[in-house]
Amino acid sequence: MEELMTKKVLIIIFALVVFINSRALANPNIESGSAMLMEADTGQILYDKNSNVKQYPASITKVLTAIIALEHNELEDVVVVGNDVPNQIESGSSAIYLIPDEKLTMEQLMYGLLVESGNDVAVAIAEQTSGSVEEFSKLMNAKAKALGANDSNFVNPHGLHNENHYTTAHDMALIMREAIKNPILLNLMTTKNYIIPETNKQDTRYLWTKNRLYRSDTGEFFYDKVIASKTGFTSVARNTLLSAAEENGMRLIAVVLQSNGVASYSDTINMFEYGFDNFVTSTLVNKNEFIQEYSIQDATSPLKIVSRSTVKYVVNKDNDKEIVASINISKDLSPSIKEGEKIGTVEYSLDATKIAEADLVSGNELESVNSVRFNKIIKSLVWVLPGILGLYIFARLYVFVKNTQIRKRRYKRQSAIKYIKKSSNNEYSKY
């Protein structure tokens, strides 16, 4: 295991004072069988009641259906309703009464899914996306597992009762956490009404939400902080409600399952108010934030340590304890480090309990002294070598020319001697 050097530093959030109340907070009064309040950025659980108990979700299933629909389709896609769509839902259940061979856009179907909560719409979307409800359910379960919703099983896209179609409050919070990242879904889940124009099979449709959190701003359960919400009901699941709200930049997710009547709304509002009244999201460190400088032997300059990511943590607004950061730097760092290379971690703890962690990376590139010297030598050779090569070529040419001249003179002398000898022989032959 890589050796680490640890340095502890006091991290003081919001003007170096974070207050974590020594007194226990009074939990909200929740009637629903299962409930959870989660902070969206961090995933921290602020309130929990039977959140891992398996329950039936009813129509809040459609939030997962909508996530998958937008991942696999375009809003302008034209959908032709299949012949068997009306027969795949319970008679009398929520629907917009799609007709076989009717043509609508995916956008119109999405409003039918999340505003009117049409079960027939969910089937049409499933068939358009995957060819069948069974194949679409495979996508639903794969997506749920990818989001960490490991205690759920989905067998249909609408949430009508099936013994094998179940979830937990915790899993639905994770699904909503994903949904609110998409601005299209945020709009869909707060739309009060929508008009689907006349189609090739049906007159104009008028869709109205039944969600009392945002249906009317004068209603008893109207909640102006809500940014997304979906209702559900079956006789077995009872009332279910999946919602998100925002105040002062903090987003909270509330889930209630196995609720009765309007208790789903009052429980949701009570959890939201409990969260906003008592907690605040603090940024422990920002992405690329400078942490400190660190000297490495044989390096040409100090190492600048920065955070790879932003780390947030939700704390109680009233508290007298400090968050401690432990900076762990690898002991065997080389003097040659690339920018962005991981060089350690920073761990945040509260009351000696780890609450968060971030990777630390190099904010600059380092070179070793020896490497710099070697590079200088190489650079100097780049200038010297051409000169040496030129001298070498010149010398070779000079020698070649000189040798050529010598050979020519030698040849001339030899030719002259041969001529003289020949002339002498001719003279002697006359006598």
Distance CA 233, CA 62 (A): 12
Distance CA 85, CA 97 (A): 10
CA distances to 26, 327, 358 from 347, rounded to whole Å, are: 30, 7, 7
Whether residue 103 is predicted with pLDDT greater than 80 in this model: the reply is yes
DSSP strand pairing (311-316 vs 323-330):
unpaired
* Whether residue 354 lies in the annotated active site: no
Which DSSP letter does residue 299 get?
A: B
What pLDDT, in 10s, does the model give residues 115-133? 999 999 999 999 999 999 9
* Residue of 34, 59, 259, 307 marked active site: 59
pLDDT band at residue 1, thresholds of 50, 70 and 90? very low
> Could you tell me the two tokens for 385?
């070598």
Q: What pLDDT is recorded for position 426?
A: 53
Whether residue 372 is predicted with pLDDT greater than 70 in this model: the reply is no
pLDDT band at residue 109, thresholds of 50, 70 and 90? very high
> Could you tell me the two tokens for 57?
């979700």
Indicate the range of 140-154, 213-227, 356-370 predicted with least confidence: 356-370
Place of tokens 């060819």: 131
Dihedral, 389, 393, 398, 401 alpha carbons, nearest 10? 180
What pLDDT, in 10s, does the model give residues 220-253? 999 999 999 999 999 999 999 999 999 999 999 9
Q: Is 230 annotated as a binding residue?
A: yes
* Residue of 32, 117, 152, 243 marked active site: 117
DSSP strand pairing (342-350 vs 303-307):
unpaired
- Residues of the chain above pLDDT 90, percent: 62
Q: What pLDDT is recorded for position 85?
A: 96
Q: Which carries the bigger pLDDT value, residue 418 or residue 337?
A: 337
* Whether residue 117 lies in the annotated active site: yes
* Residue of 49, 51, 62, 143 marked active site: 62
What pLDDT, in 10s, does the model give residues 275-333? 999 999 888 899 988 887 777 766 567 888 889 999 999 988 887 678 898 888 877 77
Distance CA 127, CA 325 (A): 51
Range list of H helices, 155-299: 169-179, 183-188, 263-278
State the DSSP H helix or E strand holding residue 65, giving kind and residue range, or none if neither.
helix 61-72
* Whether residue 59 lies in the annotated active site: yes
